[in-house]
Amino acid sequence: MYEKLFATLIGSLLLGIGINCFLVPHHLLDGGIIGIGLILHYYYELPTGLSMIILSIPLYVLAWFYEKKYFFYSLHGLLISSFIIDLLSAMRGHFELSILPSSILGGCLVGFGIGLMLRYETSTGGTDLLAQLMTKLLPINIGALIFVIDGVVILSGLKIVGIEKFLYSFITIIFVGAMTSLTIIRKEQNIVK
C-alpha cells in the first residue's frame, strides 16, 4: 500500500516536472489524456490536470463495469497526478532548454513517471487506463499500445501546434513509450528472477 502511494507521488512529480518544465514552454504535446489536456490548455487555456480528470470520466465508467481493480487502483493516481501537474504549473519558464532537449527530457520524465505508476498497478487514468484494459484482451506490450494511442492524439493536435512542434512532439512520445516500456520490462524481469 505504501509502495503504491510512494510510486504514485514520485510518478506524479516526474509527470508534473516533465510537462511543466519541458513540454509546455515549447507548446509540445504528449499523447493520451495528458496530450488532450495539453491541447485544451494551448487552445482554451484550461488547466491541464483538471482537463485530464474531466476527460477520464468515460474511461472510469468503463473500468467500473469491466475491471473494478483498475478503477480503484488508478483513481488516486489520476487525482494526485492531475493535482500535481496543475500545482507545478508555477514552474513553467524556469528552465531554458531548446526544443530538442526539452522534447527528449520531457518525454523521458513523463515516460518514467507513467512506467513507475504502472509498475505498481496504478496510473494517471486516461489512456493509460484504456491501455491496461486493452492488454487484458490483446497480447500487446502496454508501452507499444500507449505509443500508438499517443500518436493518434498528437496527430489531432497538428493544427494547433504546427508541423515543427508536431515533429518534436513525436520525438517526445517515442521517449515516453520507450521509458514506459523499459520501466515495466525491468519489473517483469525482476519477477521472473
Per-residue pLDDT reduced to its tens digit, 51-96: 999 999 988 888 888 888 878 878 889 999 999 999 999 999 888 8
- Cell numbers given for 118: 504502472
Q: What residue ranges do the domains of the chain occupy?
A: 1-187
Q: Residue 144 has which C-alpha cell?
A: 507499444
Q: Which of 97-101, 113-117, 132-136, 165-169 has the lowest mean pLDDT?
A: 132-136
Please report the pLDDT score of residue 190 as a whole number.
52
- Of 94, 95, 88, 102, which Cα lies nearest the Cα of 169? 102
Specify the DSSP class assigned to residue 157. Answer: T
CA distance 165 to 93: 17
Buried b (16+ CB within 10 A) or exposed e, 127-160: bbbbbbeeeeeeeeebbebbbebbbebbeebeee
Contact 75, 52 (CB under 8 A): no
Give CA–CA dist 11/18, Å, rounded. Answer: 10
Distances (CA, A) of 181 to 72, 118, 142: 23, 10, 7
Q: Is the pTM of this model over 0.85?
A: yes
